Amino acid sequence: MTVTSDRTSDRTTDRTTDLPPAPAPAPFPTGTQRLPMAKALNLGMRRALANDPRALLMGEDIGRLGGVFRVTDGLFAEFGEDRVVDTPLAESGIVGTAIGLALRGYRPVCEIQFDGFVFPAFDQITTQLAKMHYRSQGRLTLPVVIRIPFGGGIGAVEHHSESPEALFAHTAGLRVVSPSTPADAFTMIQQAIASPDPVIFLEPKGRYWEKGDVDLDAPLPAPHGGTSDLDHARVVRPGTDVTVVAYGPTVATALKAADAAAAEGTSLEVVDLRTISPLDTATVAESVRRTGRCVVVHEAPVLYGTGAEVAARITEECFYHLQAPVLRVGGFHTPYPVAKLEHDYLPSLDRLLDAVDRTLAF
């Protein structure tokens, strides 16, 4: 089958005529089901592969093994080795190959096995993937998704619990997003694959096995550019006293803090950023104008972290509404510690509630 590209340059003409016939897909589950995030991601990618012959997965051990976290389990058997590609242990090569595939009309979805393994590919991501569209004055697009299991809480060894989101958010030309629930994981991975932009898709691996309701009949995003929901934060718990801003793995921590604070008579509004770049300042600012106070929480180090950008923007946008400085809670300015110390490093319920108490004390 020949797929005609809508791009303006013949240098990006789709080359999908060499794809083998797609196998008959197994029936897709329907209705609302309670699923762990890992399974929701699996089904989101399965739907994307079934609906778009240009989409393919690539990464280390993602095929027959199903990935180290089994997120791609079963997809190799259903779609074959040309659509679910086991790659060498070479992250720079994975991303470089994905860039070439994208220039020829494919939609590669790369898995970086662990967050700390992304750095060998950092050059390809920041100097090629992020810049090609701008460099070509919009003539070239690179619809590449890079899935990165990130964050801590799993008792892993060094280089397996990093939070590198600020490095990518600082690079113009990349979308940086992170789901916090199985429902968002299911829809956001499909939106990322449909996006014409490169997407860094950060999966909170410490939440892979936490379950939530997923609407498997949710409508698909549009084939080209159906990505508007990727641009928006969401209020996941209304409140009146303090806005708590979180994303990825710390949204669950923020919701637990809201429960604990409510028992003491304090109402926390929890905002799930969902998108780190571009940052949905409007949704956060609207919340802060109501509450007058803001605390930002993330696992990454506080120094030069995402929370610093949120704090700066909210101070600019809401200066006359703020009743206290914007406070930040996060990791310390040290390398990620050994497993037995990680719970002292990660932002805990107590540390977040302490920040809430401090902002209310002003």
Coil/strand/helix, residue 44: helix
For 107-124, b/e burial (b = at least 16 CB within 10 A) is: bbbbbbbbbbbbbebbeb
Contacts of 275 (CB under 8 A, 6+ apart): 175, 176, 177, 230, 231, 232, 233
Instruction: Note if 160 is an active site residue.
Output: yes
Catalytic residue among 160, 224, 298, 333: 160
C-beta of residue 44 within 8 angstroms of C-beta of residue 52 = no
Beta-bridge partner residues of 84: 57
Q: CA 345 → CA 201, 310, 333, 337, distances in Å?
A: 24, 21, 10, 7
**Token couple for 164:** 């590198």
d(CA 81, CA 197): 25
Determine if residue 267 is left, alpha or beta; phi over 0 gives left, psi from -120 to 50 gives alpha, anything else beta. Answer: beta
Amino acid sitting at position 143: P
Active site residues: 160
